[in-house]
Structure 1
Amino acid sequence: MPFDWPFLLSTLPAFGRAVLVTLQVGALAIAGGLLVALLANGLLAFKCRPLTFAVRAYVELARNTPLLIQLFFIYFALPSLGVQVSGFASAIIAMTFLGGAYLTEVLRAGIEAVPAQQLEAARAIGLSPGQLLRHVVLPQAGLFSLPALFANVIFLLKETTVVSAVAVPELLYTTKNYIALYYKTYEMLAVLSGLCVLLFLPLSLLLGLLERRLQRGHFGF
């Protein structure tokens, strides 16, 4: 069968909406994951064994169970316990749960990379723990964490394809719907592939450029 260009073009508005949903899910999950990572590392800073155990258990559980299983548990299992969660909310919760675990490890590694001599010097000049964290630890830990942080941002955005399993109308869900309705497999896969390249490749290049400029101390383009 010939490639159906008119049909492909007619689907672009729907795919445009799917791109917006993909970006929305990804952005909310990344923001939520960063908040979880900051909270988790704040708990680790107390060096309290029960808190450390709880954080480590969360990280291991989240990283060693598939996102699809986490998503199905939230979407299908919680309603049986009386907690109704929409597909969109399930996607955000599951991806935040997963992303928070990865970003916790990224931030922890960055914090551990801050030289001990700087911490001792900061304490010697009388900085409070809050000032030490805000002015010494987090700025440097953030820079040390940039490569892994940006890699995980791309990873989480690509993982949004999984949320099609709970009827969130992102890119993969839209592709599968059109294939099921019209049997235009090649056309829809071409659109999906093209949009993924247009979405993720420029973002990857932009984050790489931003990383290099920040690490060199340049904050403008």
Structure 2
Amino acid sequence: MDFDFMWQVVPMYGEAMLLTLRLAFAGIALAFLAGLFCAVCRYEKIPVLRQIASVYIEFSRNTPLLIQIFFLYFAFPRMGVKLSAVQSAVIGLTFLGGSYMAETFRSALEGVSKSQIESALSLGLKKSQVMLFVVLPQAVSVSVPGFCANVMFMIKETSVFSAIALADLMYVAKDLIGLYYKTDESLLLLSLGYFILLLPVSLIAGFAERRLRYAQFGNG
């Protein structure tokens, strides 16, 4: 194991980690919004939008992210829509992540007891108030584990971005292996890079789940 080589290339991995984190953050934020919108459309059974959301979710979940970003980066320009590598990566991650977020949020919404909704309506609350003050607070606490799992999944999925020449962690590792044949060293630093990115998410997920999952029952 060449530790001198590893020390020399650490800055390259640091820059790649920052790029990976920026792309993942943008994709996760947009996927959260897309997933929440689709979940509400399906939960409220909104005509047309419900069917569109269902088709989108099934298509997105059943096609690989690599194919999605290839389509965005290579096929769209032939149709007159030119996207940069960064734009293709963020849109692709949003497209994939939004479907997983939608299913997580939908199951959380449907997990709220119907009796609570009926009770709130009988007290004179409007449907929008029931959603805001009764359904969503409980759904949030239930969806925390699934949401955090999706975040970790999306961060790991950024490894395919190297296929469109984005200098993320995977790209740097493959580049160093090709140039210097330092396979063990490069892969070890790659693993450490993803571990450093994912460990805080895992710890936050565990803390949030303990604090929120049973909050409705008064447990801290």
Same fold (TM over 0.5): yes
Q: Retained in 1: the 8 A contact 2:93–2:154?
A: yes
Structure 1 residue 193, shift from structure 2 partner: 1.4
Dislocated runs of 4+, deviation >3 Å: none
Equivalence for 1:194: 192
Q: Answer yes or no: is 1:29 the counterpart of 2:30.
A: no
Structure 1 residue 213, shift from structure 2 partner: 1.5
Q: Which stretch shows the higher mean deviation, 6-15 or 193-202?
A: 193-202
Equivalence for 2:67: 69
Name the CA distance, whole Å, in 2 between partners of 1:44 and 1:207.
Answer: 26
Name the CA distance, whole Å, in 1 between partners of 2:44 and 2:93.
Answer: 27
Q: Which runs of 5+ in 1 are unaligned?
A: none
Equivalence for 1:52: 50
**Compared with structure 1, are the counterparts of its residues 202 and 38 closer, same or farther at alpha carbon in structure 2 (3 Å cutoff)?**
closer
Q: Retained in 1: the 8 A contact 2:28–2:94?
A: yes
Q: Which stretch shows the higher mean deviation, 55-64 or 39-48?
A: 39-48
Equivalence for 1:166: 164
Equivalence for 2:152: 154
The one-letter code matched in structure 2 to 1:205 is L
Name the CA distance, whole Å, in 1 between partners of 2:197 and 2:44.
Answer: 40
Name the CA distance, whole Å, in 2 between partners of 1:141 and 1:32.
Answer: 19
Equivalence for 1:129: 127
TM-score between the two structures when normalised by the length of structure 1:
0.92
Q: Secondary structure at the match of 1:168?
A: coil
Kindly provide the CA deviation profile for residues 39-88 of structure 1, in whole angstroms up to 9, marking residues without a partner as x: 11232244244322211110000000111110100000000011110111
| RMSD of aligned alpha carbons | 1.7
Name the CA distance, whole Å, in 2 between partners of 1:40 and 1:69.
Answer: 22
Structure 1 residue 211, shift from structure 2 partner: 1.2
Kindly provide the CA deviation profile for residues 101-131 of structure 1, in whole angstroms up to 9, marking residues without a partner as x: 0110000000000000111111112222221
Q: Answer yes or no: is 1:112 the counterpart of 2:110.
A: yes
